[in-house]
Copies of this chain bind each other. A is one copy, B any other.
Amino acid sequence: MKIQLIGFGNIGQGFARVLLGKAGYLKKRHGLDVKVVSISDITGTAVDKNGIDLRRALSVMQKTRKIINYPGAKKLSGLEAIEAIDADVVIEATPSSIETGEPGLSHMLAAMKNKKHVVTSNKGPLALKFKKLKETSKKNNVMFRFEASVGGAMPIINLANEMLSGDEIYAIEGILNGTTNYILSRMTKEESSFDIVLREVQELGIAEADPSYDIDGVDTASKLVILANAIMGIDATYKDVKIQGIRKITPEAIKLAKEDGYVIKLIGEVKNGNLEVAPRLVPVNHPLNVEGILNVALLRADIAGDITIVGKGAGAIETNSAILSDLISIWRNARS
């Protein structure tokens, strides 16, 4: 299987590292031979139709942070690489934008039009243009898989669509952002104010310098849109989500909740066609009460009842569990 990797930051480099460790396993267990034929970042594209030396590519990135320094790399953009280079699958792992969805959106559409399957961890394009992407993949008869775009290693989308295939999912609730969950967990444990904990968490590198993407619920809302589309077939986009973040949560509110046996969590919910992100009271013993950077999703299914899944919501290595399982699924389906 010939793969093009578009975007070579945390996730892309994590993919290379995972592949280096897993090549033997993939071959033995799934009969799958993965060859990365190009890697693009904003500086250019490394190309090798016999398979890029991933160890070398990682070392180039560690030393220079630019893929253009890989031996023989070309001044091709990601989009040009998708158009010009022969491959079976494009892994789109560029930074996510919730304003325009670019450059990921153009990459994915171009890949599909070039009859390449798409695997992605990139939320923005899906939160804005899910329907268009889905339709384009169908029209071009290619597979479109995006488990890594929601909940990192937590396999929520494929779980709902494949493991609960006889069920109808009529509601979804979840904690879909690890940073806010970590902040709220610490506020609860330390009885500290939001501002103090945020500063600590920024120093730890868990929250960004501009934390608003996480704490104002933008990230949770993007993921909720993807779940609503992919699992419940709701034609929603980011602008349909009612969003409230966690800035205004006080230590007093957390303390009061605690006295009544509750914790406060930032919950995304799809129910009766409505998408909403807001702080909610969750009973201490409820499956949605998970701590730290964990993510959790609860699916309300008509036969199975409530199914909850918990996993690491982020991480350069962990997220590649989802990318790899999507790749294997494409491999299986393409052969049959």
Contact = CB atoms under 8 A, between A and B. Distances in A.
A272 interface: no
A329 B333 CA distance: 13
Given A165-B328, A294-B287, A320 B336 contact: no
How many copies of this protein are present in the complex? 2
A206 interface: no
B25 A303 contact: no
Interface stretch (A46-54, A91-99, A248-256, A306-314): A306-314
Given A159-B155, A289-B285, A336-B336, A165 B329 contact: yes
A191 interface: no
Interface in A153-188: 153-155, 158-159, 162-168
Nearest to A163: B155
A312 B304 contact: yes
B153 A18 contact: no
Contact of A321 (B26, B154, B167, B285): B167
A166 B26 contact: yes
Nearest to A283: B291
A22 interface: yes
Of A18, A158, A167, chain B has the most CB atoms within 10 Å of the CB of: A167
A321 B308 contact: no
Given A164-B155, A285-B291, A315 B305 contact: yes
Nearest to A310: B308
A60 interface: no
Given A159-B159, A309-B309, A304 B285 contact: no
Contacts of A318: 303-305
A13 to B, nearest CB: 14
A136 interface: no
Contact of A325 (B166, B291, B311, B321): B166
A18 to B, nearest CB: 6
A303 B315 CA distance: 10
B306 A308 contact: no
Nearest to A292: B285
